[in-house]
Structure 1
């Protein structure tokens, strides 16, 4: 029976047995469906999961842990240092949550200091301390070497988020995104395509122990590879003589004044787009009429009110995929999983147009 909830159901948690009785199914079928098992049909899984959510069913974590030796919970592990963990917002967390829910697993978030994450006495007990079966490690820059070593040494079931590791990681394919951005502009007829970065310099080799994220190098290299494949000159407009964040408008203006200026610019992120539009308007140029701009962003609006053409990562899909990979790893007795990159998608806005002239 799936009608109105009675008072008893509204004031206490419904059990799996009661859920099965209400749906007219066996408890085993309901259990399979809640875990997302292919032992039952997709239609049955979706029906059971929908009714479970409507009726407020929550699995008995204590009983599960005693029965199978697992907590039925996964943690997203963040650093307490804000510049070391990516800010994903609700989309990624929602994707992780939904993917775990389909496997009858909870989500918790833990913010831990480096002192604990590099402590060889704490790390072997971290799963028990957090009461989780595995971890999604959200640590993308200044990653302590000892943390990486301890995860390997104690064979902890973990997947790294937005971080390039040899294995057990998932990250956006920024190199492909850089190439795709160039290809889109070339399809619009652009050949004088520049790359403008807010970084003051660029490391020859990416080092995850520094503040520089791998995307800085990968996006630029993707741009360079696409330009060279098309036999076009690389126009690398770095703030090497002036830090972009010290005076971004001055840096952008310097390049717009060039007689052989680009007809299109690719920016590392949206912080530069507003400055480009401002500088262009100051010099009698319009975006995108005289100058096209494309960037890498999840938010497609800039401060000038225009929608930007962006290379966009769907973080909800990213979260679903990451959670699925971790659950597969746990199910496979912590077998190593290959590194996985996810593509960006081109989202058209008001900042790109056909090349003038």
Structure 2
């Protein structure tokens, strides 16, 4: 069987670095135009096959990428929809097709893979958020290069692109502390997602570093995103916190609404900070201070990592952490005297 030509083979032929070959064939900056044309010519002479290259197009074949996520994830169009659009744009730009399928409860529980994965019709797979560890490992067992987006787990051996949830939450709670808040509530379901667990850890870290003892009564870490649930929690509190940190904008929106129903004014009597910088943080009254995630960058980095993995199948797995920043709006102010 004829040996498959790799980027390293081209680099060895030209006595240059593999990175230079990769930059040239991917159309990236970093090499001169003369070097780029030389690399392309030698690659074609050697019979190198690159996903999305002109040689593949001549043969009537373009590469395929699969994108899967749970039904629940596709429901959150504002957050995950933006990541998906960024992924689609980046995949198309690289001359490949994107195949998308949502995974329902039955497919998840019975480990039923999409046909394009089962039949190995795709060159790489992106998994958006979590499905289940067992299901994701079934996907990985096919041998198709796979990258997780906004999810990771100790028992999953795969590359991942993540937001730095701990540091983002830390910065949000630090913002509240610097406004002289000491009674800060946490609202979120930490069992739902590793991201929410990490945001809880960031909340605790900020309190710890500022010498504030967490108040268990103010920690609602199995919160459902339902108005009646949040309202009942607020009503049960013997004493009200002066600030709330919510793991997403949906919960921030609900806390705002429920506090208003209880006659508690935001931000005069209570400050709210949420996470994701989604639509709900922008339309609430007052607009909610939140932690911003660059969703366009999320998608781009995921595709870049997947294409790298497709060319470097034996390299150690990577986790790429994207930083976040606090967007300060009208929902946070100094703690009431």
Q: Is 1:272 aligned to residue 272 of structure 2?
A: no
Partner of 1:99: 90
Partner of 2:153: 165
Q: Is 1:317 aligned to residue 308 of structure 2?
A: no
User: 1:323: how far off?
Assistant: 0.5
CA distance in 2, matches of 1:121, 1:309: 40
Residue correspondence of structure 1 range 48-87 to structure 2 within 5 A = 64=56, 71-79=62-70, 81-82=71-72, 87=77
Deviations 1:38-85 (A, max 9, x none): 4455xx9xxxxxxxxxxxxxx988951786x98433221234x43698
Structure 1: gaps (5+ residues):
1-30, 45-58, 204-211
Closer, same or farther: CA 266–119 of 1 in aligned 2, 3 Å: closer
Tell me, yes or no, if the aligned pair for 1:195 and 1:265 is still in contact at 8 Å: yes
Partner of 1:332: 312
Partner of 1:253: 235
CA distance in 2, matches of 1:65, 1:334: 27
CA distance in 2, matches of 1:39, 1:117: 49
Partner of 1:194: 185
Closer, same or farther: CA 287–61 of 1 in aligned 2, 3 Å: same
User: 1:315: how far off?
Assistant: 1.2
Partner of 2:128: 138
Partner of 2:45: none
Partner of 2:321: 341
User: 1:223: how far off?
Assistant: 0.6
Closer, same or farther: CA 244–33 of 1 in aligned 2, 3 Å: closer
User: 1:251: how far off?
Assistant: 1.5
**1:136 partner SS:** strand
Partner of 2:28: 36
User: 1:179: how far off?
Assistant: 1.1
Partner of 1:155: 143
Closer, same or farther: CA 196–91 of 1 in aligned 2, 3 Å: closer
Partner of 2:215: 235
**Equivalent residues, number:** 291
CA distance in 1, matches of 2:322, 2:187: 24
Tell me, yes or no, if the aligned pair for 1:100 and 1:324 is still in contact at 8 Å: no
User: Which entry has the higher C-alpha Rg, 1 or 2?
Assistant: 1
CA distance in 2, matches of 1:91, 1:102: 17
Q: Is 1:294 aligned to residue 273 of structure 2?
A: yes
Between 344-353 and 326-335, report the one with greater CA deviation.
Answer: 326-335
**TM-score between the two structures when normalised by the length of structure 2:** 0.71
Closer, same or farther: CA 111–242 of 1 in aligned 2, 3 Å: closer
User: 1:347: how far off?
Assistant: 1.2
**1:96 partner SS:** helix
User: 1:173: how far off?
Assistant: 2.1
Structure 2: gaps (5+ residues):
1-22, 37-50
**TM-score between the two structures when normalised by the length of structure 1:** 0.67
User: 1:227: how far off?
Assistant: 0.6
Task: Quote the RMSD (CA, aligned, Å).
Answer: 3.8
Tell me, yes or no, if the aligned pair for 1:78 and 1:85 is still in contact at 8 Å: no
Tell me, yes or no, if the aligned pair for 1:329 and 1:336 is still in contact at 8 Å: no
CA distance in 2, matches of 1:239, 1:351: 20
**1:127 partner SS:** coil
* The structure with more helix, counted as a fraction of residues: 2
